[in-house]
Chains A and B, each alone.
Chain A
Amino acid sequence: DVKVTQSSRYLVKRTGEKVFLECVQDMDHENMFWYRQDPGLGLRLIYFSYDVKMKEKGDIPEGYSVSREKKERFSLILESASTNQTSMYLCASSLYSRDTEAFFGQGTRLTVV
């Protein structure tokens, strides 16, 4: 089974802190994604990566950056955390560019105080 693992289930950070959310997948998938999920807004794409060191902005990239130095690992970085970034963050991976299902991690509930 494909496994997508996020480093933390719950995280509490202070405003202004630099925050790293880590995601690792174990099935050699090409694509990796970061979403944030807020009540009533569904899943909104922050960034995705289709290869090592390659990244593309999603729908809501402001305030975030990403890093993909190895194929299996995709990191989301909040350069200076703000309270409006309090949310559930979901990482996902998929094998090919099109027509393949996404596998999600268990999510990280980030609270910025």
Chain B
Amino acid sequence: GQQVMQIPQYQHVQEGEDFTTYCNSSTTLSNIQWYKQRPGGHPVFLIQLVKSGEVKKQKRLTFQFGEAKKNSSLHITATQTTDVGTYFCAATSSGGSYIPTFGRGTSLIVHP
């Protein structure tokens, strides 16, 4: 079945530093979604990428979809304490099941 690897598992940063999490799939994807889960909360949808090479921005967050549609990244510029949480990618294969597979998540810890 489809495998989705997300790295790193944890990332400690000082407030103001940048942060990036990467998501890699063993198969070509039809789309990839990103979710954020605050401590003690539930995952909340951030964005979906569909097109090869697509780049989308939400304020300090930049999302990219690889040209081969097998990988994606989420980059946060100048982290703030409000960015703390776990970021998950959810990848849907272009063939087979339409159900997305979640990565294991990257937990971001921001030190003030």
How many A-B Cβ pairs are below 8 Å? Answer: 53
The interface residues of chain A lying within 8 Å CB-to-CB of B88 are: 42-43
Q: In whole angstroms, what is the CA distance A78 to B1 when docked?
A: 25
- Asked if B21 is at the interface (CB within 8 A of a chain A CB), the reply is no
Q: In whole angstroms, what is the CA distance A18 to B19 when docked?
A: 44
Partner of A90, one of B31, B33, B43: B43
Partner of B43, one of A45, A59, A99, A104: A104
Q: In whole angstroms, what is the CA distance A104 to B101 when docked?
A: 15
Residues of B in contact with A, size category? 20 to 34
Mark interface residues in A34-63 (1 if CB within 8 Å of B CB, else 0). 010000111111001000000010110000
User: Is the beta-carbon distance between B98 and A98 smaller than 8 angstroms?
Assistant: yes
User: Is the beta-carbon distance between B50 and A99 smaller than 8 angstroms?
Assistant: yes
User: Is the beta-carbon distance between A90 and B42 smaller than 8 angstroms?
Assistant: yes
List which B42-96 residues lie within 8 A (CB) of chain A.
42-45, 48, 50, 88, 90, 92
User: Is the beta-carbon distance between A45 and B48 smaller than 8 angstroms?
Assistant: no
The interface residues of chain B lying within 8 Å CB-to-CB of A84 are: none
- Min distance, Cβ B16 to any Cβ of chain A, angstroms: 28
List which B21-47 residues lie within 8 A (CB) of chain A.
30-31, 33, 35, 41-45
Closest 7 CB pairs of A and B: A42-B104, A101-B45, A43-B102, A104-B42, A98-B98, A97-B98, A42-B105
